[in-house]
Amino acid sequence: MILLQVLNSDNSISTVLFFGTIGMLALTIGLIVFISFHQRKVIRYQQQLQRMEQDQQKTLLNASIRLQEEERQRIAADLHDDAGPLLATARLYLNENFVNLDKNTQLQSIYNAKQIIDDTIQLIRNISHSLMPPTLKNFGLESAVNDLFQKISGSGSMNASCRFHDYRERLKAENELIIFRIIQELVNNILKHSNASFIHLTQNTSGNKFFIRIHHDGRGLTQTDFEKLNKSNVGLGLKNIQSRLKVLQGKIFFEKDMSQTYYKVTIEMIKEEELKPA
């Protein structure tokens, strides 16, 4: 009715007033609707990102728990299958002394028991070393990595070398262990899957960053492969690397060399003094 009144009236002021008011209200409502929908969309997008990150964390947590369980099973198997029978055998030899009173036989069984106990000590030492390498604990990351690479080279299957350019001050023991485990995992992967003939590791620093680079000439991963494996259920070791790096607030990059001959893995971390507490 108002519209009819306005349209029928000759007064142009009425028309301007009517359409002006309607226009202003339409603009205001349009703006409000736009803002509300846009904000809704932004919030949903943020939540989707958050959800993806939580999924990723869940996968990493799963991987690290599974790896821990595997490690425990391995130690349990070592103790049960190797140390257990050895100690049982030593016990049998020592029991022999109660039954057989012949001096020579007794000496022989004590000697045998001693041999077996020595073997058990060595076995337990090996297990303990695999849990925490003594070189790493006593002499630091550089020596531990050198040791690891010398062992690989010594086996004759691969040429392995490493060079630390700027490692005058040792990192915290727990951080050294994390980095060592990451290197161990990467080297293991290269040994197992790449068919490479050499591995070369270098360490250096730049600004507040600490870098470790590993080159090899075998079949390797690119960043896309790494991300794909990280999201899938396989690639437990890679997920473990990722979760260890998270503790150090570090990053890892997999790439193929410019010459397309080598694969390069770069681990990038913030120097210890600048690490934020997690």
Partner 1 sequence: MLAYISIISPLLPIILFLAFCTKKSRRELWVIFFYIVLSFSLDFFQYMTPWGRHNNFRIFGIFTIVEVALFTYFFYLVIGNKIIKRIVLTACTCLVIFLLILFLKSNKTNFDSISASVESVTLIILSITYFFGQLSRPQEQFIYSSPNFWIVLAIMIYLSGTFFLFMMANNLSAYEIQKYWFINNVSNIITNLIFCIAFLVNRFASAHPITEKTYTGYNNIHENPLREQ
Residues near partner 1, by CB under 8 A: 11, 13-14, 16-17, 20-21, 24-25, 27-28, 31-32, 35-36, 38-40, 42-44, 46-47, 50-51, 54-55, 57-58, 61-62, 65-66, 69
Residue among 35 and 121 whose Cβ is closer to partner 1:
35
Closest contact distance (angstroms) between CB of 74 and partner 1 is 16
Query: Is the Cβ of residue 54 or residue 128 nearer to partner 1 in the bound state?
Result: 54
Q: How far is the CB of 234 from partner 1 (least distance, A)?
A: 13
For residue 109, count CB atoms less than 10 angstroms from its CB and return exposed for 0-12, middle for 13-18, buried for 19 or more.
buried
Token pair in block for residue 229: 């494996």
Cα 138 to chain center, whole Å?
24
Identity of the residue, 27 or 77, whose beta carbon is nearer to partner 1 in the bound complex: 27
Q: Measured from the CB atom, is 70 or 81 closer to partner 1? A: 70
Smallest gap from Cβ 97 to partner 1, in A, equals: 47
The span from the CA of 248 to the CA of 242, in Å, is 10
> Residue 40 or 151: which CB sits closer to partner 1?
40
First to last CA, the chain: 68
Minimum distance of partner 1 from residue 6's CB (angstroms): 10
- Whole-angstrom distance, CA of residue 244 vs CA of residue 87: 36
In the complex, the smallest distance separating the C-beta of residue 61 from partner 1, rounded to whole angstroms, is: 6
- Residue 201 is given by DSSP the state E
Entry field: residues in the chain: 278
Our CB check for partner 1 shows the closer of 60 and 267 to be 60
DSSP 30-41: HHHHHHHHHHHH
Report how far residue 249's alpha carbon sits from residue 276's, in angstroms, rounded to the nearest whole number.
8
Residues 6 or more apart whose CB falls under 8 angstroms from that of 173 comprise 137
Judge whether 264 and 256 are in contact, CB under 8 Å.
yes
Least distance (Å) between residue 24 CB and partner 1: 4
Instruction: Give me the least distance between CB of 237 and partner 1, in Å please.
Output: 17
Q: Which is nearer to partner 1, 11 or 224 (CB)?
A: 11
* Beta carbon of residue 245, minimum distance to partner 1 (angstroms, whole number): 20
Identity of the amino acid at 229: L
Q: Which of 254, 234, 253, 249 is nearest to 62 (CA)?
A: 234
Closest CB to partner 1 among residues 71, 225: 71
Rounded Cα gap, residues 163 and 201, in angstroms: 6
